[in-house]
Amino acid sequence: MIIFPKGAGRLIWQLSLWMSLFICLLVTIGVLFDVFNLMQGLVLALALGVVQALFVTLVVSPIAKGLQAVESGLLNFKDGDFSTTLAYQGNNELGDLCSLYNETANKLHQERQWIYQRELMLDKVLHNSPQALLLVNSKGQIVYTNHSARGLLFAGIKVEGETLSNLFSGMPEAIAEALQRGGEGLFSVDQEQQQRQTWHLATGEFLLNNQPHNLYILKPMTREISRQEVQVWKKVIRIISHELNNSLAPISSMLHSGRLIAQRVDDERLERVFNTIDERIARLSEFVQGYGKFAKLPQPQLSEFRWAELIQGLAQQWQFKVKGELAEFGYGDETQIQQLLINLLKNAHEAGGAAEDVWLSVESHGQQVICVGDKGKGMTETVMASALVPFYSTKSSGSGLGLALCREICEAHHGDISLHNQQQGGLVVRVNLPMVKV
pLDDT of residue 361: 92
The 10 Å Cβ neighbour count of residue 310 is: 17
Residue 100 counted as domain residue: yes
Q: Domain range holding 168?
A: 128-220
Is residue 205 within 8 A of residue 213, CB to CB? The reply is: yes
Of 220, 241, 257, the residue at which a domain comes to its end is 220
Residue 5 lies in a domain: no
pLDDT in tens, 324-370: 888 888 889 888 888 889 889 988 888 888 888 899 999 987 788 99
Q: Are residues 110 and 136 in the same domain?
A: no
Question: How confident is the model at residue 414, as a pLDDT?
Answer: 86
State the pLDDT at residue 336: 86
Q: pTM above 0.85?
A: no
| End-to-end alpha carbon distance in the chain | 86
Domain count within the chain: 4
Give residue 371's pLDDT band: very low, low, confident or very high (50, 70, 90). Answer: very high
- What is the CATH number for 190? 3.30.450.20
Helix axes 38-55, 10-32, angle to 10 degrees: 160
Same domain, 318 and 421: yes
- How many angstroms separate the CA atoms of 253 and 106, rounded? 86
Where does the pLDDT of residue 127 fall: very low under 50, low under 70, confident under 90, or very high at 90 and above?
confident
Q: How confident is the model at residue 399 (pLDDT cuts 50, 70, 90)?
A: low
Residue 132 placed within a domain = yes
Give yes or no for residue 386 having a pLDDT over 80. no
Q: What is the pLDDT of residue 372?
A: 92
Model confidence at 7: pLDDT above 60: no
Answer yes or no: is 367 within a domain: yes
For residues 181-196, average pLDDT: 65
Same domain, 328 and 415: yes
| Domain end (from 295, 328, 345) | 295
* Most confidently predicted of 75-79, 98-102, 302-306: 302-306
Same domain, 404 and 311: yes
Residue 18 has pLDDT above 90, yes or no: no
Q: Using the 3D structure, point to which of 295, 323, 349 is the last residue of a domain.
A: 295
Mean pLDDT, to the nearest integer, of 290-303? Answer: 69
pLDDT by residue (tens digit) across 155-175?
Answer: 888 888 889 888 888 888 778
Residues 177 and 256 in one domain: no
The most distant pair of C-alpha atoms in the chain lies apart, rounded to whole Å, by 164
Tens digits of per-residue pLDDT, 254-265? 777 777 777 766
Query: What single-letter amino acid sits at 385?
Result: A
Res 289: pLDDT: 65
DSSP 232-277: HHHHHHHHHHHHHHHHHHHHHHHHHHHHHHHTTS--HHHHHHHHHH
Residues with Cβ < 8 Å from 83, sequence gap 6 or more? 105, 109
Note the pLDDT of residue 359: 92
Q: Is residue 121 part of a domain?
A: no
> How many alpha carbons fall within 13 Å on the CB side of residue 393?
15
* 242, pLDDT greater than 70: no
Residues 188, 78 share a domain: no
CA–CA distances in Å: residue 119 to residues 113, 115, 123: 10, 6, 6
308, 404: one domain: yes
